[in-house]
Amino acid sequence: MTDWHAEPAHLCLYPFLLAASKRVEESGVTLENLISSAVFERARLRGKSRITEAIKEGTIRKPVIISDTQAEMELLSYPFARILVSCIRDERLVRRYALSEAKAAHEKLLEESSRRGSSASASANIIYRMSEEFGIRMDFLAGEREQVQVPFVDYLRFTTNLRDKRWKLVNRGLGKGKLKLRKAEFVRIVQEAIYERIKKDLPLDVPEDICKAISRYTEDIKHELEEMRNAAGYGFELDSGAVVKDPSCFPPCISYVLSNLKEGVNVPHGARFAVTAFLLNIGLSKEEIIGIYRNSPDFDEERTRYQVEHIAGDKGGVQYTAPSCDTMRTYGNCVETDEICEKVSHPLNYYKYKLKLKQKQEQKQKTE
């Protein structure tokens, strides 16, 4: 195998690889240097932007690497970002950050692994490289470039978080202990492996004085985080910029699922259905709803679209109404109830009730 993957210009795109951390170690850059030396300001700023991009976009943009210095800075920005996110000590941010890193790497991997023609062997190489890195025994099917097979044990290690039924073992053609995956599916599993690795020891146990020394970066991030969380509801302002639907009036069960989706936490099917139906019922568009699911760990645009359209009644059926409080309770989706919950028996009524209440209060404030 060529040594291309050890090139810093390439390695810095996958900074969670063992070879990447080894390289950082061997570079001789000390923690002290990394957090304070002027030489590494670029790495620190990039480290910060890794996290703010995760907050704002749910992914991390991969730069075009044009020089060795830039590659080094990109590489070093990763350990610095880990220190930053550890100092902030916000569990949801940790998840979101890890997921964003994993998604960004996934995208890059997809791109690199789907190259054809003269780069075809490099594209197979990256698949081999990842399978080695994460201990997934994999081989290409004879005479095939697009399908690989893996033992079920390795498959299970990284797929129990993927909710879609096509990932269930029962739905994979399992023969003599192995199952086939399209290359893109394999890369999707690698994303899970990457996510696990990145999240594994986060937050790191960073000494207080180090956190203090880098507080000017963490403060900025906290600010972004705050802003994002306060921003018009859950990140689905309408195109006009106006917030027509008022998420502050959503019932707690719906808000809970939305915030989980936003943080990239996996949400069970029943809860997804409830939220989708609820949002459709109050008049959100399908596009807006699909946008909300974009953060979900197993997001698959086409499937999500299909499901949303189904619930919307586009497929010749009727539009579903959001489940009642009773049904929500039965499936364990009724959470964090408040005093309004006691007055209503349907999440939609909760919303109407609270909207009215809010309008009344605003009226009152105006007249006062």
Partner 1 sequence: MNEKTKLFVRRKFEEYYRYARISIPKDFWMREWGFVFLDHYFPEKLVMRRHKSFATEKELANYLRENAPAHAYHSAAIYKYPAAEMANKGWLGADLIFDLDADHIVSETELEQYSYEDLLVQVKKETEKLIDFMLNDFGFQEKDMELVFSGSRGYHIHIGTKEVRGLGSRERREIVDYVMGTGLDMKSFIDMQEGHSGKMRGREDLRLVPEGWGKRLLKGLIDLLHEIAEMEEKKAMEKLKQVGELKDKNARSIIKIAKDDTVMERIEKGQIPRFGKQIWEGITKAVTKTVRVKSADRVDEPVTSDIKRLIRLPNSLHGKSSLAVKPLRIETFKAFNPLDDAVVFGDSPVEITVSRNSSIKLKGETYKVEQGEVVSVPEHVAVYFMCRGVAEI
Could you tell me which residues are beta bridge partners of residue 139? 149
Region of 50-58, 68-76, 115-123, 172-180 interacting with partner 1 (CB under 8 A): 172-180
Among 56, 108, 157, 294, binds partner 1 (CB under 8 A): 157
CB atoms closer than 10 angstroms to residue 234: 20
CB of 164 to partner 1, least distance (A): 9
Q: In what order do the strands lie in the sheet with 147-151?
A: 139-140, 147-151, 178-182, 174-175
> What distance, in Å, lies between the first and last C-alpha atoms of the chain?
76
Region of 51-59, 86-94, 115-123, 165-173 interacting with partner 1 (CB under 8 A): 165-173
CA distances in angstroms from 240 to 86, 229, 236, 248, 293, listed in the order given: 37, 20, 11, 19, 21
Among 18, 141, 153, 357, binds partner 1 (CB under 8 A): 153
> Any contact of residue 269 with partner 1 (CB under 8 A)?
no
Binders of partner 1 in range 173-202 (CB under 8 A): 173-180, 182
Q: Which is nearer to partner 1, 171 or 215 (CB)?
A: 171
CB of 298 to partner 1, least distance (A): 13
> Any contact of residue 238 with partner 1 (CB under 8 A)?
no
> Any contact of residue 169 with partner 1 (CB under 8 A)?
yes
Nearest to 347 by CA among 271, 236, 290, 292: 271
Total residues binding partner 1 (CB under 8 A): 26
Non-local CB neighbours of 157 within 8 Å, separated by 6+ positions: 136, 193
Region of 156-164, 187-195, 197-205, 331-339 interacting with partner 1 (CB under 8 A): 156-164
Q: Which tokens belong to 315?
A: 């497929």
CA distances in angstroms from 349 to 150, 183, 250, listed in the order given: 50, 47, 10
**Could you list the residues that contact partner 1 (CB under 8 A)?**
146, 151-153, 156-157, 160, 165-166, 168-180, 182, 302-303, 306
